[in-house]
Amino acid sequence: MAVEQTFVIIKPEAVERRLTGEILTRFERKGLKIQRLAVTEISKEVAKKHYAHHGDKPFFPHLIEAMTSGPVVLAVLEGDEAISQVRNLVGATDPAKAAPGTIRGDFALRLPYNMIHAADSPDAAQEEIQRFFGN
C-alpha cells in the first residue's frame, strides 16, 4: 500500500450543522492522519477556479453560491491509499445515490449541498493542497 496525501473541504452546510467533528472522526477511525487543518471562507474567485471543470454545467452558479455561503474546514489527510479511502468514506456525489454509512449517505440532503469535497486523484490532491494551503 502507498502512503499518500489527499485533500478535503468540509462544506458550509456541514459546518453550519456542526458535523465537522463527526466527519473528521470518521477519517481518523479509518486510520487516516490529519496533517493540516484550517477554518476559512472561500471567495467566489477561488471557488470558480476550484470548480472550473464544472463551469459549463447548469448547476455551476448554485455550486459556487453554496461553497461561498459560510465557513469551510480544509483538511489534508494522509494514510495508506488515502485518496480511495476518503472517496469511499465520502460516498457518491449525489446524496440520493450515496450509500448509508457514507458521509453523504448519512448527512447530505440534496445537491449541491453534499457536505464535502474530496480530491479524486493524486494530481488533484496536490493541486488543491497548493491552492488552499500554499507551500
Asked if pLDDT for residue 6 goes beyond 90, the answer is yes
Q: Which three cell numbers stand for residue 130?
A: 497548493
Kindly report the backbone phi and psi dihedral angles of residue 50, in degrees, each rounded to the nearest multiple of 5, phi listed first: -60, -40
Per-residue pLDDT band at 1 (split at 50, 70, 90): confident
Chain segment 21-54, per-residue pLDDT in tens:
999 999 999 999 999 999 999 999 999 999 999 9
| The pLDDT value given to residue 112 | 86
Q: What secondary structure letter does DSSP report for 53?
A: G
Which residue is catalytic, options 50, 53, 62, 117?
A: 117
Q: What is the mean pLDDT of residues 3-24?
A: 98
| The pLDDT value given to residue 59 | 92
Q: What is the mean pLDDT of residues 16-25?
A: 98
SS (H, E, C) 1-47: CCEEEEEEEECHHHHHCCCHHHHHHHHHHCCCEEEEEEEECCCHHHH
117 in active site: yes
